Structure 1
Amino acid sequence: MSKENLEVEVKVKVNCDELSKIEKELIEKGAKFLDSREEKDLYLNHPCKDLKLKDEALRIRYVNGHPETITYKGNRSKEEELVKSREELKVKVDNDPIALFEKLGFSPGIYVTKFRKYYSFKEVLVTLDKVDNLGCFIEIESNRKSVDDIKETINELNINGDIVKKTYAELIEELNIS
C-alpha cells in the first residue's frame, strides 16, 4: 500500500456545543476555511463477499445532492491506538454511478448523512461534523500521514471527547440493529 493512498485520521465524539468552540479556536489560530457542505454517503454491499467481514468499504459520496466520488476503503491497521489508518482509493464522478453498481450486483447498504465544515490547519485537515442520528464529531486527518501531527492538533485545540475507532457507517448500523 503506497503512502499516497493511506488515510491517517482520528475521530473524536464531542458535545455539539464544542464544535463552535473548536471552530473559533481554529480561526483564531489561523486555520483556513475550505468548505461547508452536506455529504450523503451510500455504502454498497458487494454481491459476492461481505466487505464488513474483510474490514473494507465501497462508498458513493453525494455532496449537496450531487455525486462527487466513489471511494474504496481497505482494512484498518491495528498498529496505532489513537488513529485509524487504512488504504483509501478515490475516483471522482460527474454522474450518479448507482445504476452501474446495481447492474454489477451491488446493492445499497448504509446511508450516512452529515453536515461538514472543512478547515486546513498546519499539516492537518480538520472537519467539524454534525452527523444525522449520531451527534457531533471532529475528524483530524494528517496531510503528511503523521500520527504526531494529529496528537499535536488535539492538544493545541484542546479537543476533549471520546476517540471513536468505528466508522460512521458502523455506528449507524449499530443503531439500526438495536
Structure 2
Amino acid sequence: MIEIELKGYADERVFERVRETFTFMRKEIHEDIYFNHPCRDFVETDEALRIRIKRFNGHFEAFLTYKGPKIDKLSKTRKEIEVSIEDVDAYLELLRHLGFKEVLTVRKTREKYYVEKGVTITLDDVEGLGKFVEIEKLAKDEKEVQREVPRLMEILKSLGIEKFERKSYLELLMEKLSSSTGL
C-alpha cells in the first residue's frame, strides 16, 4: 500500500478550523520508537523503521512499520508496510539482537478526524516540535498519487496551512537536537 501524506505547520486557529469542519474520530497518544539498520543508514536511504505504541479510549495497539523512500516531490508519500504486534518488548529485543539501533522516540498527542471515505486529517501536538496538521489517504498505485496530492494539498490550504513540511517528525527532532548540541 502507498500512504499519501501531506503535513503542514499549524497553530490553535488551524486546529479549531479542523475541529469545526470535520468529524472527530478519537484522540490518541503515540510513542514512536525509531531504529536504524545495522548495515545501511536510513537517513541516507530515506527509509524508516519504527515501533508505534498507540493508546486511545483505554485501548492499546502496537505496530512495526517500515516506510520506504518518498516517491514524489511535494508530499511525504511512501510505500508503507505495517504489522500489528502483541508483545512490544519481544519485538524490541528481536530488533536489538538483529543489530538495529534505537535512534529516538517521538511522542505526540493526535486528534483524528474523518474527511471522506479513505481520507483522514490529524491534529498532532509533537513533544519538542509543536503543532502540525497531517492529511492521509491510502493508494493502490502511483497514478493515484499524482491525482490526489494536489487535491489533498488544497484541503490543507483551505484550513489555513501556509507552510508545508516533507520531513518526518523524527527528522525534525534530529535536526533540532543537532543544532542545539552543535553536532
Corresponding letter in the other structure for 1:43:
Y
Of 118, 123, 130 in structure 2, the residue corresponding to residue 135 of structure 1 is: 130
Q: Superposition pairs for residues 21-170 of structure 1, below 5 Å?
A: 21-26=17-22, 31=23, 33-64=24-55, 66=60, 68-77=62-71, 79-81=72-74, 83-96=75-88, 97-123=91-117, 124-144=119-139, 145=145, 146-155=148-157, 157-170=158-171
C-alpha distance in 2, partners of 1:84/1:107? Answer: 24
Give the TM-score of the pair, scaled to structure 2.
0.83
Corresponding letter in the other structure for 1:128:
L
Equivalent pairs counted in the alignment come to 166
Corresponding letter in the other structure for 1:14:
A
Q: Is the 8 A contact 1:16 1:135 kept in 2?
A: no
SS in 1 for 2:164: strand
Which structure 1 residue ranges, 5 or more long, are not aligned? none
Q: How far does residue 122 in structure 1 lie from its aligned partner after superposition? A: 1.4
C-alpha distance in 1, partners of 2:173/2:73? Answer: 24
Q: Is the 8 A contact 1:125 1:143 kept in 2?
A: no
Identify if the C-alpha distance between structure 1 residues 166 and 140 changes in structure 2 by more than 3 Å, giving closer, same or farther.
Answer: same
Q: Is the 8 A contact 2:17 2:159 kept in 1?
A: no
Corresponding letter in the other structure for 1:39:
H
Corresponding letter in the other structure for 2:112:
Y
SS in 2 for 1:105: coil
Q: Deviations over 1:21-40 (max 9, x none)?
A: 321222xxxx3x22211101
Corresponding letter in the other structure for 1:90:
E
Corresponding letter in the other structure for 1:91:
V
Q: Is the 8 A contact 1:126 1:141 kept in 2?
A: yes
Q: Deviations over 1:116-140 (max 9, x none)?
A: 0111111411001000010000000
Identity %: 32
**What is the RMSD of the two structures over their aligned residues, measured on CA atoms?**
1.8
Q: Is the 8 A contact 1:22 1:159 kept in 2?
A: no
